[in-house]
Structure 1
Amino acid sequence: MDLLHDMNTAMKYIEENLTREIDFKVVARLAHCSEYHFKRMFSFLARISLSEYIRRRRLTLAALEFQNHNVKVIDVAMKYGYNSPDSFTRAFLNVHGITPSEARKNGRQLKAYPPMTFQLSIKGGTEMNYRIVEKEGFNVVGVKYEVMMVNEILTPTYESMISAISDNEMKELEASSNIEPYGVVHVSVNYSESKEGKATFNQYIGAATSKEPLEKYSVLEVPSLLWAVFEIDGNWEHVEEQWQRIYSEWLPSSLYELAEGPEILASKDQKSEIWISIKEK
């Protein structure tokens, strides 16, 4: 498959440039997709952000450097993109559980994160119900959260975000829903990654509406976009499974890639829809 070849060509470039500045525009060009598409695809398939994967690979190689007892910590730090021994030592300790100086000692246990490649996995051909929708811009009104993801852990968690919204507020939001996607919507937008491996995004829990919002709620203006809309019956496990299949099965085999826009989960009457903003390849 060309997609697998392109993704692995991009991964090879990353591996060969762990001691240099990695140009994500080059990564995207090698993968024949946008930088945003590659990062989001990677985070869904690998379950960690691309920047976190690169950080772990660099610190894996850095640990091997200390088998040479004459190597200086500052030299290894600079080689793998750290501006000071202190910042390198903190990152090294976070991954390996010991300091670089301790790593020099014989018999100390270290962690290794091997290079990652993408492989084709043949699974049961379960159908996916979807439609392509071209939709004018609309507003989402609701509660806004600034979310950070480190080592696959969200802060705040989805459970705490939802529990912070009162029953009355949830009823207000649900009642304000009068345009697609209908029902209570969970919107993720403005995804970005830092060199330290942290991923951040804005999360809105609210409703798509044309009504005037109450002052206590935030408003997200969603621009005109092309959407792939997937229908799901079932509980949260089915929703999570469908998210994974969209990224691992549908997108790679489609004529589309991700557009830099929101990702929406809409729920109403025991049914859910996933809205993914897309553009033609």
Structure 2
Amino acid sequence: MIAVLNRVVDLIEEHLTDEFDLATAAARLGTTEYHVRRMFSSLAGIPLSEYIRRRRMTIAGAVLISGNDDLLTIAVRFGYGSTEAFGRAFRAVHGVGPGEVRRDGGPLRTQPHLRFHLTVEGSTPMDVRILELPAFRLIGHATRVPLIYVGENPHIKTHVAAIPEEEHLRLKGLGNTEPAGMLAVSDDLDPDRSEGSELTYLHGVAVDAATDVPPDLDVINVPAGRWAAFRSSGDYPATLQITWAATATEWFPSNPWRLRPGPEIVAVLDRATDFSTATCDLWLPIEQSGQG
């Protein structure tokens, strides 16, 4: 996967002034756009789309200072239909407009050309199960929330707190298949996993595909497929978030699997009364990697 990401970065450099077809490039490299975007954002710390925008504006800044082309010509060269659209993108990266940079020579914020390197860590073994599951349904109460990587998500906390205790008990009684237990489900995520982007969060349980679902519950239909279930135990949610990050930095780069589209599920197996600690299974939809 490290070699794939480096090749993608090289292809981006070759297409900074035209459209870059990531889906086609990923397929030629034996993987998928979905997996590349997820791994890139996890390892680089920024979404792939944001990296491309920063690289384009880095080169555009150099062109502005060193060249004599008018602003519209430069805007079109970098894929913008107007000087206004180009100016907004330029200011978002550099903090100043292109006219100021051409006049004053800066200031410019440079996005370096990224390179990925494999760091041998893995000192803590990851407890994971690989399972083939039939089609099932996720049922419960859903809402739209922003993605927050570190710490507790207050929007999710508010949503769950508003569900009456008797409703939690009813949901527990409805669950009849894996993933077992009360589930925290993230679905319909932004491909780049941008911090603050919206996702669908469902608090509920899993039922088999034949189960009749009460009409007052939200439903996510999940097709049959293979899953990886990662066990974490410790401070909550910190340990779970560390495990989530380690799937990208350690497990996927060293195993012949890749992510496929689908919901990401956290099953809470055991927890302290105040939820300060918990044992969880993180369920991720996977498929055989073309690199394996």
Q: TM-score, normalised by structure 1?
A: 0.86
Corresponding residue of 1:19 = 17
How far did residue 58 of structure 1 move? 1.0
Structure-2 residue corresponding to 1:243: 244
Q: For the residues of structure 1 that align with 2:257 and 2:204, how far apart are their CA atoms?
A: 28
Residues 19 and 9 (structure 1 numbering): CA distance in 2 closer, same or farther, change over 3 Å? same
Larger mean CA deviation between 56-65 and 107-116 belongs to: 107-116
Which whole-Å CA distance do the structure 1 matches of 2:69 and 2:187 have between them?
A: 44
Q: Contact conserved, 1:186 with 1:205, CA < 8 A, in 2?
A: yes
CA distance in 1, matches of 2:166, 2:91: 46
Mapped to 2, the partners of 1:227 and 1:260 lie a distance apart of 11
The Cα of 1:274 is off from its aligned counterpart by: 0.6
Q: Which amino acid aligns with 1:250?
A: W
Cα 1:60–1:53 change in 2 (3 A) is: same
Deviation for aligned residue 1:163:
1.0
Whole-angstrom CA distance in 2 between matches of 1:219 and 1:124 = 37
Could you say what secondary structure the match of 2:104 adopts?
coil
Separation of aligned partners in 1, 2:285 and 2:70: 48
Separation in 2 of the partners of 1:145 and 1:61? 41
**Corresponding residue number in structure 1 for 2:34:** 36
Query: Which residue among 57, 63, 75 is the counterpart of 2:55?
Result: 57
User: Residue 171 of structure 2 aligns with which residue?
Assistant: 176
User: Aligned pair 1:160/2:166, yes or no?
Assistant: no
The answer as to whether partners of 2:122 and 2:250 remain within 8 angstroms in 1 is no
Q: Which amino acid aligns with 1:158?
A: N
Match of 1:73 in 2: 71
**Does the 8 Å contact 2:39/2:248 carry over to 1?**
yes
Mapped to 2, the partners of 1:129 and 1:240 lie a distance apart of 15
> 1:9 touches 1:30 (CA, 8 Å); kept in 2?
no
Q: State the alpha-carbon separation in 2 of the partners of residues 143 and 87 from structure 1.
A: 40
CA pair 107-23 structure 1, distance change in 2 beyond 3 A: closer
- 1:258/1:277 contact within 8 Å kept: yes
Task: Quote the Cα distance in structure 2 between the aligned partners of 1:145 and 1:76.
Answer: 43
Is the CA contact (8 Å cut-off) linking 2:140 and 2:171 kept in structure 1? Answer: no
Match of 1:275 among 276, 279, 283: 283
User: Aligned partners of 2:132, 2:112: CA distance in 1, in Å?
Assistant: 42
Deviation at 1:190, TM superposition (A): 3.0
**Structure 2: gaps (5+ residues):** 272-278
Query: Residues 92 and 144 (structure 1 numbering): CA distance in 2 closer, same or farther, change over 3 Å?
Result: farther
Assess if the C-alpha contact under 8 Å between 1:192 and 1:200 holds in 2. yes
Aligned-pair identity (%): 33
Which residue of structure 2 lines up, in the alignment, with residue 252 of structure 1? 253
Within 1, Cα distance between the matches of 2:228 and 2:247? Answer: 10
Instruction: Give secondary structure in 2 for the equivalent of 1:67.
Output: helix
CA contact (8 A) 1:31 1:38 kept: no
Q: Residue type matched to 1:130 in 2?
A: V
* Cα distance between partner residues in 2 of 1:183 and 1:257: 26
TM-aligned CA deviation for residue 48 of structure 1: 2.1
> Aligned with 2:140: secondary structure?
strand
Letter of the 1:36 counterpart: Y
Number of corresponding residues: 273
Amino acid at match of 2:95: G
Distance 1:86 1:170 in 2: 53
Over aligned residue pairs, what C-alpha RMSD do you find? 2.7
What code does the residue aligned with 1:136 have? P
Alpha carbons of 1:242 and 1:75: their partners in 2 closer, same or farther (altered >3 Å)?
A: same
Letter of the structure 2 residue corresponding to residue 176 of structure 1: L
Q: Residue type matched to 1:97 in 2?
A: G
* Counterpart contact for 1:95–1:111, Cα < 8 Å: yes
Instruction: List per-residue Cα deviations over 1:233-271 (Å, max 9, x = no partner).
Output: 012111111111111111121121112222111213221
Aligned counterparts of 2:161 and 2:129: Cα–Cα separation in 1: 33
Question: Equivalent residue of 2:65, what SS?
Answer: coil
**TM-score where L is the length of structure 2:** 0.83
The SS at the match of 1:202 is strand
Distance in 2 separating the partners of 1:198 and 1:255: 31
